[in-house]
Each structure stands twice: as structure tokens, then as C-alpha cells.
């Protein structure tokens, strides 16, 4: 079992899909300042505690600042049977509209 990385151009086809959960792994302050539309915030430090609430029957797309943390998180959750993709290059590579809290 493995997980895929997706390019930032490809994230647009996942935004707003009912069977996809986009998860921002950055700190809440960074998330509040600007995040990919429809993304929820679960800081990486809280992921172990929060993963029990994540749906196993949906696609989870992780992203962070540059892509390193999301790769680690994707690898860990993939081992637990989750369907995961990681955004290559993180939010720094993303060129779309950002939502702010």
C-alpha cells in the first residue's frame, strides 16, 4: 500500500468534492491567515489524537507549508489504512485563491 502526491494544479479538481477531505496540517494561526478552500485544520501535532475522527472511506489530502510534514503524515496514516494523498510543495506551491478565517 502506498500514497500518491498530487501537484498543486490538481488540487482544484478535489476542492468541494463530497468524498474528499482536504486537511491543512499547519498551526491554527497559519491556517487562519489563509488556506485552500474547503480545507479543515488539524495541526500536525494533534493528528495522532484526531485521526480516530477521520473517515476511512473518503480520500484525505494533506498539505503543510512546504510538503515535508504532509509526506510524513501521509505515510503514517497510510499504514493505518487511510486513503491519502499529499500536496507536493505544500501551500507555498499553491497558486489559487485562499480562504481566511
Task: Judge whether 40 lies within some domain.
Answer: yes
CATH of the domain at 86: 3.40.250.10
pLDDT at 2 over 90: no
Which residues contact residue 99 at a Cβ distance below 8 angstroms, ignoring those fewer than 6 apart? 34, 35, 36, 37, 39
Task: Judge whether 45 lies within some domain.
Answer: yes
**Whole-prediction pTM:** 0.95
Task: Judge whether 52 lies within some domain.
Answer: yes
Task: Judge whether 100 lies within some domain.
Answer: no
pLDDT at 93 over 70: yes
First CA to last CA across the chain, in angstroms? 36
C-alpha to C-alpha distance for 25 and 54, rounded to whole angstroms: 14
> In total, how many domains does the chain have?
1
Task: Judge whether 41 lies within some domain.
Answer: yes
pLDDT band at 1 (very low <50, low <70, confident <90, very high): low
pLDDT digit string, tens, across residues 59-91: 999 999 999 999 999 999 999 999 999 999 999
The whole domain housing 86 covers 4-93
Task: Judge whether 101 lies within some domain.
Answer: no
pLDDT band at 3 (very low <50, low <70, confident <90, very high): confident
C-alpha to C-alpha distance for 71 and 57, rounded to whole angstroms: 20
Amino acid at each position: 500500500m502506498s500514497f500518491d502526491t498530487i501537484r498543486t494544479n490538481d488540487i482544484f479538481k478535489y476542492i468541494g468534492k463530497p468524498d474528499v477531505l482536504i486537511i491543512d496540517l499547519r498551526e491554527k494561526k497559519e491556517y487562519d491567515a489563509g488556506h485552500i478552500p474547503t480545507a479543515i485544520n488539524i495541526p500536525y501535532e494533534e493528528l495522532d489524537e484526531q485521526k480516530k475522527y477521520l473517515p476511512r472511506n473518503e480520500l484525505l489530502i494533506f498539505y503543510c507549508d512546504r510538503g515535508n510534514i504532509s509526506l510524513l503524515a501521509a505515510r503514517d496514516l497510510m499504514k493505518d489504512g487511510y486513503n491519502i494523498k499529499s500536496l507536493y510543495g505544500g501551500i507555498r506551491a499553491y497558486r489559487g485563491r485562499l480562504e481566511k478565517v
